[in-house]
A and B are shown apart, each in its own frame.
Chain A
C-alpha cells in the first residue's frame, strides 16, 4: 500500500523515529511548562532559552572549560553534563524566580509572560553575541556511538537516538509519578488548587514555588543536553522550538501532567508522518491541529474549562 505513494517502509520508520525524538522533546518541555504554570500561573517564555542553555553548558563543558582553566586536557563529559547542566540552569532559574518573577505574582499573569520574554531576549542575545548563530556540533558520547542494524527490515537504529527516547520517557514518567503518587506531589497539587489554604496548613508555599520553577527549568535544560548531539548547538535552537511547544500546550491543555506527555509524543509522531506524506506541510501541521482543536474543544484535549 505504501509503495503506491512512492514511500519505502524504511523511510517511514526513519521519519517516525525522528518524530518520536521530537515528540519526546515536546513532551519534556510542555511538561515543564505545565508544572510551572500550575503553581506560578506564569507561562515561562524563557523555557526555550533555558533549553538552549542546557545544550550550551554541555558543549562548553566538553570543549571550552579546559582552555578557560588553563588545562586543555580537562573536560566535562556527557554523563556529568547530563546532571550538572540541569542543576546549574535550575539554580539560575531559582535566582530569576527569587529576584524577579516573585515581584509579579500579584499582577495580571501576562506580566510574567512579558518578563520571561524579555529575559529570553537577553539570554539569547548574549549567546548570539558570543558564539554567533552558525552553531557548534557536539559529538555523541562513546558508549552510545553506532547503532543496531535490523537486517530483516533493512533498518538502522542509531543507539543515541534510542537513548534519547528512553531517557526522556523515563524522566517524564518519573515526574508524573512524583506529582501524582508521592507526598511531595500531593503538596504540589494542593498548591495548584489553593495555595492560601495550603500555606495556612503550615507548608512553606513560597519555597515550594521557587523549587518548582527551578525543577521545571531544569527539565528544559535536561532536554537541551539530550538534544545537543542530535541537533546543532546554537543560540536560536530554543526559540524555534518553544513556539511549537506552546501550540502543543494549547492542544493538550495544561490540566493534566500525563496529558501533556501524551500530547507531546503524539504530535511529534504526527509531524514525522507528515514529513513522509507531505513534507511541505510538516512545519505547519501542529499549528493546523491547534486551530482545529480550538474549534472543536477550546479548552484543549485534556484541559478543563475554567
Chain B
C-alpha cells in the first residue's frame, strides 16, 4: 500500500468514525450506504477480479435478510448469531447456485444466476414465514452478545461499521493473496490458467461462495438496520442495482464499488420524491458509462493519475 492510499484510508476512516457526532448527514443513511457498499464490494470480488457477471446476487442479499430477520424476530437470537445464520444461508445457497452456474460461461452464466435467483424470489413470495407481500416487519435489533443494546442508532452504527470493515478487509486480503492472483489470471485468460494446471472451476466456485457469503452479510446487516426484510431485497432489480453500483464506481478497483454505492443510494434518496425518475436517471447514466467510461468513476480517476504521472516522469527524463 503506498503512502497516498494509506492517507486516503485514514481520512475516510476518520470521517466514518465521527458520523454519529454531527448533524449534516443522517446516520441511518450512512448505515444503508455501508450495507450496500459491502454488498457491491462482495459483488466486485466476482465481477471485477474473477470476471464472472452474476445477475442473481439479490438471492443472497435478500435471502440472508429474511433469514436474519426471522431468526431475530421469531427465535429471539442475538444479532451476531442472526447475522451468522444469514451468512450460513448465503454460503450454502452460493455453493448450490455457483456449482450449477459455473457449468456455463459468459452470458449464460449471467442468465443462469438470474433465473436461479428468481427461485428464491418466488420462495420468499410463497413461504409462510416470509410474510408474502408485507415481508417481515418490526425486526428487533436485539442485544449484541446479549450485552449491548443496539436499539440506539449510535450503537448500531458502530456495529455496522465494524462489520463493514471486517468484510472489506477480508475482500482486500483475498484480492492480494495468491488465491486472488489466480482469480485475476482466470479473468485475464482462462485457457492459460487451465493449461498452467489450475483447477479453474474450483477457484471460480470458491470466489462465488465468498462473494455470496459477504453479500449475505450485507443483507443481514440491512435487515437489522431497517428492522425489515421485504421482497424488494430479493427482487432481481436488486441484482441489477448492485451491477449498476459496481460498474459506475469502477470494476476491479477496491474503492469503486463503495463510490458507486454512494452514488446510486444518494441519487435514489435525492430523486425519491419524483416517482420512478431515479430509475430513468440511473439507467441513462449507466448506458453512458457502458458506452464511454467503462472503467467507472474510480477506474477513470486512476487511469488519469497514471497518465499524469507518466507525463511527469517523461518530462523529468528529458
Report the bound CA distance from A100 to B290 in whole Å: 10
A-B contact count (CB 8 A): 109
Instruction: Select from chain A the residue with minimum beta-carbon distance to B123.
Output: A284
Known: A126-B280, A280-B126. A115 touches B115 (CB 8 A): no
A174 contacts the other chain (Cβ, under 8 Å)? no
Choose one: B118, B276, B287; the contact of A118 (CB below 8 Å). Answer: B287
**One of B80-88, B101-109, B148-156, B176-184 contacting the partner:** B101-109
B115 touches A290 (CB 8 A): yes
Establish whether residues B115 and A246, one from each chain, have CB atoms under 8 Å apart when the complex forms.
yes
Distance from A303 Cβ to chain B, minimum over Cβ atoms (Å): 9
A98 near B: Cβ within 8 Å? no
In the complex, which of the residues A109, A243, A280, A290 contacts B107, with contact meaning CB atoms closer than 8 Å?
Answer: A109
The answer to whether A129 and B107 touch (CB under 8 A), given A118-B286, A119-B283, is no
Closest Cβ neighbor of B104 among chain A residues? A298
CB closest chain-B residue, reference A298: B103
Residues 15-44 of A, flagged 1 when their CB comes within 8 A of B and 0 if not, give 000000000000000000000010000010
Q: Are A287 and B116 in contact (CB under 8 A)?
A: yes
User: Does A92 sit within 8 A of B, measured CB to CB?
Assistant: no
Taken together as a complex, chains A and B put the C-alpha atoms of A43 and B105 apart, in Å, by 13
In A68-119, the 8 Å CB interface with B consists of 100, 103-104, 107-111, 113-115, 117-119
Q: Is the CB of B240 within 8 A of A117?
A: yes
Set A109, A120, A246: member contacting B106, Cβ < 8 A: A109
| B122 & A284 in contact (Cβ 8 Å cutoff) | yes
- Interface size in chain B (residues, C-beta < 8 A): 35
Of A104, A113, A122, A249, the residue contacting B283 (CB under 8 A) is: A122
- 17 A-B residue pairs with Cβ-Cβ distance under 8 Å, sorted by A, are A111-B294, A114-B243, A117-B286, A118-B287, A121-B280, A122-B287, A125-B280, A243-B114, A243-B236, A247-B115, A250-B104, A250-B111, A280-B126, A283-B122, A290-B115, A291-B100, A291-B116
- Give 10 nearest A-B pairs by CB, closest first: A121-B283, A125-B279, A125-B280, A122-B283, A118-B286, A118-B287, A247-B115, A298-B103, A128-B276, A246-B111
A residues in contact (CB < 8 Å) with B: 37, 43, 100, 103-104, 107-111, 113-115, 117-122, 124-126, 128-129, 243-244, 246-247, 249-250, 280, 283-284, 286-288, 290-291, 294-295, 298
Residue ranges of B at the interface with A (Cβ–Cβ < 8 Å): 53, 100, 103-104, 106-108, 110-112, 114-116, 118-119, 122-123, 126, 236, 240, 243, 247, 275-277, 279-280, 282-284, 286-287, 290-291, 294
- 4 further contact pairs, Cβ within 8 A, besides A118-B283, A124-B279: A114-B247, A119-B287, A122-B280, A287-B115
